[in-house]
Amino acid sequence: MAYLFTSESVSEGHPDKVADQISDALLDNFLAFDPDSKVACETLVTTGQVVLAGEVKSKTYLDVQHIAREVINTIGYTKGAYQFSGDSCGVISLIHEQSQDINQGVDRENKEEQGAGDQGMMFGYATKETANYMPLALDISHKILIELAKLRREGVDIPYLRPDSKSQVTIEYSDDNVPQRIVAIVVSTQHDDFDKDDDKMLGKIKKDIISILIPRVIAQLPQYTQELFNDDITYHINPTGKFVIGGPHGDTGLTGRKIIVDTYGGKGAHGGGAFSGKDPSKVDRSAAYASRHIAKNLVAAGVANEVLVQVSYAIGVVKPTSIFVDTYGTSTLGMTDGEIAKKVEEIFDMRPSAIEKRLKLRNPIYQETAAYGHMGKEPQTITKVFESPYSGKVEKKVELFTWEKLDYVDTVKKAFEI
Q: Write out the binding residues for K(+).
A: 42
In 164-321, alpha helices (H) = 198-208, 214-220, 223-226, 247-250, 259-262, 283-301
Residue 369 DSSP code: G
Known binding-site residue numbers: 14, 16, 42, 55, 98, 164-166, 242-243, 251, 257-258, 274, 278, 282
Instruction: Compute the 3-state secondary structure of the chain and give helix, strand, coil in percent, each to the nearest 5.
Output: 35, 25, 40
Angle, helices 64-75 vs 15-33, to 10°: value is 130
3-state secondary structure of 411: helix
Known binding-site residue numbers for L-methionine: 55, 98, 251, 282
**Residue 179 and residue 172 in contact, taking contact as beta carbons nearer than 8 Å:** yes
Known binding-site residue numbers for Mg(2+): 16
Count of CB atoms situated within 10 Å of the CB of 90: 9
CA dihedral 227, 232, 233, 234 (to 10 degrees): 180
Count of CB atoms situated within 10 Å of the CB of 334: 6
Residue 315 DSSP code: B
State whether the Cα torsion 190-196-202-205 is positive or negative.
Answer: negative
Known binding-site residue numbers for ATP: 14, 164-166, 242-243, 251, 257-258, 274, 278
Give the length of the chain: 418
CA distance 87 to 64: 14
In 302-350, alpha helices (H) = 337-347
**Whole-Å CA distances, 26 to 77, 107, 171, 279, 378:** 18, 21, 37, 10, 23
